[in-house]
């Protein structure tokens, strides 16, 4: 019984987190999911292999994020990005890219 309750609690937390992303209204809120790997201002290369986000255009970022989402962009470590971005709508990706491009 405890295992079922733990599993339901974890599932509920994941669903809540996903729904919070879905209701984010701005790029700054969406970017909170990115800060751990990319830094507060997009200054860090994620996992030590990616380019820093800071300094990239909104157009380039949007193209890359859509590529991650549909599986046409990224190297061997793209699984994290794919799993994160598949939760975002196309509109949220544009908002996120616009926010990052301002760094």
Model pTM score: 0.74
| 5: confidence class by pLDDT, cuts 50, 70, 90 | very low
Looking at domain 2-100, its CATH architecture is: Orthogonal Bundle (1.10)
Burial of residue 100, with CB atoms counted within 10 A of its CB: 0-12 exposed, 13-18 middle, 19 or more buried:
buried
Mean pLDDT of the chain: 85
Residue 36 CA to residue 32 CA, distance in Å, equals 8
Distances (CA, A) of 25 to 33, 46, 60, 92: 14, 25, 22, 8
- Where in the chain are the domains? 2-100
Please give the residue that has the higher pLDDT: either 11 or 53: 53
């Amino acid at each position: 019984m405890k295992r079922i309750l733990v599993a339901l609690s974890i599932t509920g937390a994941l669903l809540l987190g996903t729904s919070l992303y879905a209701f984010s209204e701005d790029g700054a809120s969406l970017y909170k999911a990115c800060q751990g790997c990319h830094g507060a201002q997009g200054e860090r290369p994620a996992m030590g292999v990616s380019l820093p986000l800071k300094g990239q255009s909104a157009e380039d970022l949007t193209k890359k994020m859509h590529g991650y989402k549909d599986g046409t962009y990224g190297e061997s470590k793209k699984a994290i990005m794919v799993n994160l971005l598949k939760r975002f709508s196309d509109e949220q990706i544009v908002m996120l890219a616009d926010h990052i491009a301002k760094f």
